[in-house]
Amino acid sequence: MEKKELINGGKVKSVFTTDNEDQVIIEFRDDMTAGDGERKEVMNNKGAYNAVISTKIFRVLEENGVETQLIDLPQPNVMLAKKLEMIPIEVIVRNIATGSLVRKYPIADGTKLEPPIVQMDFKADEYHDPMLNDSIIKALGIATQEEIDILTEKALKINEVLTEFFADAGIILVDFKVEFGKDKDGNILLGDEISPDGCRLWDSETLDMLDKELFRKGKDNEVMDAYVEVYNRIIPDDEKVI
Ligand code: 5GP
């Protein structure tokens, strides 16, 4: 397996082609960004922690019937994955109101959301990821109604599985963002990553934040300890590679 051409240099990951044209190599870098990439710092081993956490989560989801792009984790910060044509939608699921929801709408921080909110944002930094609705998605030609329904159903299934998975580790899954893509046969698979970069995770007892929100709030010296805490709680000792 060899890295060939860089096809997507994202804010925190680099995607390369490889010998097999149906596969890609995703390198998780040590960069941490906030504010559409306006602030960027390098955090030691952050790429590896996110790749291992994301791989564990993708395996748990696969065991529960959610297909993902994951094939293997040949190195702690390098994922071998099925090549997908990514759909430019950030599907966000919220179990507790916080973040941009409470900034934009009259709802109190910490309100339980039952049923959870499923929100779709346009993945486009230059437009600051604006919120979409079904008509806008169809007008932009991003997805069909059938695909929107599949994304919603898969996001809610992921929420169900991961809420329980994190609860077993003493963590509340407050909200998260997922991205999907189509494989060569047109199947919609979960892609990208699920890690503390794109989830709000709170300690069940103390409600301490265990995710990138610490970095967004300028607590740069606390954020990696939180990622390591999540890693230690969800990765069994015999699967630890960092
Ligand atoms: P909010 O809209 O409240 O800022 O974020 C809701 C959830 O989606 C949070 O868990 C946040 O981490 C995630 N999220 C939303 N947009 C992005 C994004 O552009 N990048 C990442 N990594 N996560 C995002």
According to the model, what pLDDT value does residue 36 have? 82
Nearest C-alpha to atom 11 of ligand 1 is from which residue?
198
Mean pLDDT score across all residues of the chain: 97
The residue length of the chain stands at 242
Percent of the chain residues topping a pLDDT of 90: 97
Whole-number Å distance between alpha carbons of 92 and 44: 28
pLDDT above 80: residue 1: no
pLDDT above 80: residue 143: yes
Nearby residues of 154 by Cβ (< 8 Å), 6 or more positions away: 66, 180, 188, 190
Phi, psi of 190, rounded to the nearest 5 degrees? -70, 130
Q: Find out whether 57 and 51 touch, Cβ atoms under 8 Å.
A: no
Nearest C-alpha to atom 23 of ligand 1 is from which residue?
198
Residue type, 62: E
pLDDT digits (tens, 9 = 90+) for 48-80: 999 999 999 999 999 999 999 999 999 999 999
- List the Cα angle 4/8/10 in 5-degree steps: 130
Nearest C-alpha to atom 15 of ligand 1 is from which residue?
177
pLDDT digits (tens, 9 = 90+) for 7-55: 999 999 999 999 999 999 999 999 999 988 889 999 999 999 999 999 9
Q: Which two tokens stand for residue 97?
A: 């109101």
Task: Specify the 3-state DSSP secondary structure of 228.
Answer: helix
pLDDT digits (tens, 9 = 90+) for 154-176: 999 999 999 999 999 999 999 99
Does 10 contact ligand 1 (Cβ within 6 A)? no
Residue 30 CB-density burial (10 A; 0-12 exposed, 13-18 middle, 19+ buried): middle
Does 197 contact ligand 1 (Cβ within 6 A)? yes
Does 13 contact ligand 1 (Cβ within 6 A)? no
According to the model, what pLDDT value does residue 84 have? 98
Whole-number Å distance between alpha carbons of 221 and 138: 43
According to the model, what pLDDT value does residue 106 have? 98
